[in-house]
Structure 1
Amino acid sequence: MTETTTASPIPPREAFEESGAVSVETITHVHQWNDDLFSLKMTRPASFRFRSGEFIMIGLPKEDGKPLLRAYSMASPSYAEELEFLSIIVQDGPLTSRLQHIKEGYPIYLGKKPTGTLVTDALLPGKRLFMLSTGTGLAPFMSLVRDPEVYEMFEEVIVVHSVRRVADLAYRELLESKLEGDPLLEDDQRERMIYVPTVTREPFRTQGRIQALIDDGRLFEQSKGPQRFVPEEDRVMLCGSMAMIKDHAADLEARGFEEGANNKPGQFVIERAFVG
């Protein structure tokens, strides 16, 4: 059942209570990419620190006053003054059905303990970093791709985003511009960022699922390196649907890649918090 709009789904600030687990922040901007996809920015506590690629809990109060929280990857770089998140709209979703109504100035809960495995600490040194994403799985890579330290670790940073419709290519203009206007990236770093968008259900310059691009070599066309995955040199991050992550993890393992973690770096990583 979808939620009715007879009453505001966003409670007043008085309904939000600070605690040891969450702070109450303020929405500073909302961007609607299409009818099903939006991003939001919120104030960032002065003491809040995170590693590029990590996620945090955000949410709203339930009817009983307790926080309803869900894990969202930070799409903002770690140095940004505000925190940014990318979300789909699920009409019967307990949280997203309400978040879609949020506006500038509204309150929102923010967790206090960022965590995750989509971080460079979980990867061994390498030459190329591939970020393979579907849908809103692009979010953590928008954080990582604007982190100067990533370019100090890798010669090329390749962002792959697979979606159903062209309109689903969030941040497309920014990525096609090679992050023009970024305050911290040097020109040579921006030039080493490669953006590979692909669409599965509409005409586009690149069509097909990520696996098809891997198999026929289109994924590697803009790279100066080998036109295939090389376990000794390449590092891979995966974020997207559960099926996508499981399929690509299996494919990488078959190619000789080993999964990494914060306590044992490897050649590819996934965000297990979203896999289940």
Structure 2
Amino acid sequence: MQENATLPQTGAAEAHIPAGVYAETVTEVQHYTDRLFRFRITRPAAFRFRSGEFVMIGLPNAERPVYRAYSIASPSWDEEIEFFSIKVPNGPLTEHLQKIRPGDTVLMRKKPTGTLVNDALLPGKRVYMFSTGTGIAPFASLIRDPETYEKFGEVILTHTCREVAELEYGLELVRKLMEDELVGELARAQLRHYPTVTREPYPVMGRITDLMASGKLFADLGVPPICPEDDRGMICGSMAMLRDTKEALEDFGLVEGSNAQPGSFVVERAFVD
């Protein structure tokens, strides 16, 4: 992969676009920290996905582009596609992706997939969306989709990061959502946002599994502990977080589901770099 920061524009890259791949234009880039940024690209007219799914993306800066799985952070109705990414200094993709600017080209494979979709969960009273770091991305899609509020009476989004600055994407997302014309009224009535930090002082500190085990999560939210009859869960984060949160939900009696067989919780296992 070439080291140049300036990526080819769509016209220059057309000859190298393989079948089954879209070449889309970057419309917006926002950097939050030296480790996190979000970007938006144009949406192909024929592209359809379910809120919460992921897609493979890459850059046209090599004869054989590197592709990685990225959760789509925008909802299924959005006219553009948004992604929330980490920056990995020597990452095969993110080392270059973090340098994109509006007007540059991003490659996106045409087939979305994933388990963090409403269809993979049985109906319930409330749904917990457990996320760490950029794992909030699929939930950024789901909490902006009216279908989520139709299926669950209460939507609880937890987002755990190491440092306070890393929470900003989620905090900004929820602030804007509350004023959104399409789902703002639903979100104000049904969405609960629970950010936590592990390495800096913050109103709520600690790993989400520890906060569940101690009961603090439920006490803070004013809800009963998780039970299989009422509660559903979605998990997206690091490998360790996925393992520990999955075990915690199973201890509460929840059963993992899938697209083929809906259950009381689902896990996303696609990662960046």
Aligned match of 1:36: 35
User: Quick one: percent identity of the two aligned structures?
Assistant: 53
Residue 208 of structure 2 is matched in structure 1 by 210
Instruction: Give the AA of the match of 1:53.
Output: G
Question: C-alpha offsets along residues 63-96 of structure 1, whole Å, 9 cap, x if unaligned?
Answer: 3x12221110001111111100000000000100
* Partner Cα separation in structure 2 for residue 80 and residue 127 of structure 1: 27
Partner residue in 2 for 1:88: 86
Residue 159 (structure 2) aligned to one of 158, 161, 173: 161
Q: Which has the higher helix share?
A: 2
SS in 1 for 2:178: coil
What letter is aligned with 2:254? F
Matching residue's letter, 1:125: P
Any conservation in 2 of the 1:77–1:146 contact (CA below 8 Å)?
yes
State the secondary structure of the residue aligned to 1:52. coil
1:253 to partner: Cα distance = 1.5
Q: What stretches of structure 1 of length at least 5 have no aligned partner?
A: none
Which of 241, 252, 261 lines up with 1:264 in the alignment?
261
Contact 1:175 1:195 in 2 (8 A): no
CA distance in 1, matches of 2:54, 2:186: 29
**Structure 2 gaps, min length 5:** none
Residue 61 of structure 1 aligns to a residue whose secondary structure is coil
Per-residue CA shift, 1:195-230, capped at 9, x if unaligned? 00000000111101101211222222454541x111
8 A contact 1:55–1:114 mirrored in 2? yes
Say whether residues 1:234 and 2:231 are aligned partners. Answer: yes
- Classify 1:224/1:204 alpha carbon distance in 2 versus 1 (closer, same or farther; 3 Å): closer
Q: What is the rounded CA distance, in whole Å, between the counterparts of 1:265 and 1:272 in structure 2? A: 17
Aligned ranges for residues 40-59 of structure 1 at < 5 Å? 40-59=39-58
Separation in structure 2 between the aligned mates of residue 38 and residue 274 of structure 1, nearest angstrom: 16
2:26–2:101: 8 Å Cα contact kept in structure 1? yes
Deviation at 1:186, TM superposition (A): 4.8
Within 2, Cα distance between the matches of 1:267 and 1:159?
A: 16
1:89-168 equivalences in 2 (<5 Å): 89-168=87-166
Q: Is the 8 A contact 1:62 1:68 kept in 2?
A: no
Secondary structure of the 1:29 match is: strand
SS of alignment partner, residue 149 of structure 1: helix
Q: Deviations over 1:41-70 (max 9, x none)?
A: 00001111110100001111353x122211
Give the letter aligned to residue 48 of structure 1. F
TM-score, normalised via structure 1 length? 0.92
Asked whether the equivalents of residues 198 and 204 of structure 1 are also in contact (C-alpha less than 8 Å), the reply is yes
Shift of 1:183: 2.7
Deviations for 1:1-20, whole angstroms, at most 9, x for unmatched residues? xx996x33523442343333
SS of match in other structure, 2:26: strand
Q: Is the 8 A contact 1:194 1:222 kept in 2?
A: no
User: What CA distance in whole angstroms lies between the structure 2 residues aligned with 1:224 and 1:155?
Assistant: 15
Structure 1 contact 58–71 (Cα < 8 Å) conserved: yes
Rounded Cα–Cα distance in structure 1 between residues aligned with 2:104 and 2:65: 15
160 and 71 in structure 1: CA distance in 2 versus 1, 3 angstrom threshold: same
What SS does the corresponding residue of 1:179 show, helix, strand or coil? helix
- Return the match for 1:170 from 158, 168, 187: 168
Residues in 1 aligned to 2:176 and 2:125: alpha-carbon distance in whole angstroms: 19
Report deviation, 1:251.
Answer: 1.9
- Name which of structure 1's ranges 15-24 and 229-238 shifts more when overlaid on structure 2: 15-24
Equivalent AA in structure 2 for residue 231 of structure 1? P
CA distance in 2, matches of 1:161, 1:225: 18
Partner residue of 2:248 out of 248, 251, 254 = 251
Q: How many residues in Structure 1 have an aligned counterpart in Structure 2?
A: 270
Q: Residues of 2 paired with 1:222 and 1:126: CA distance?
A: 21
TM-score, length-normalised on structure 2? Answer: 0.93
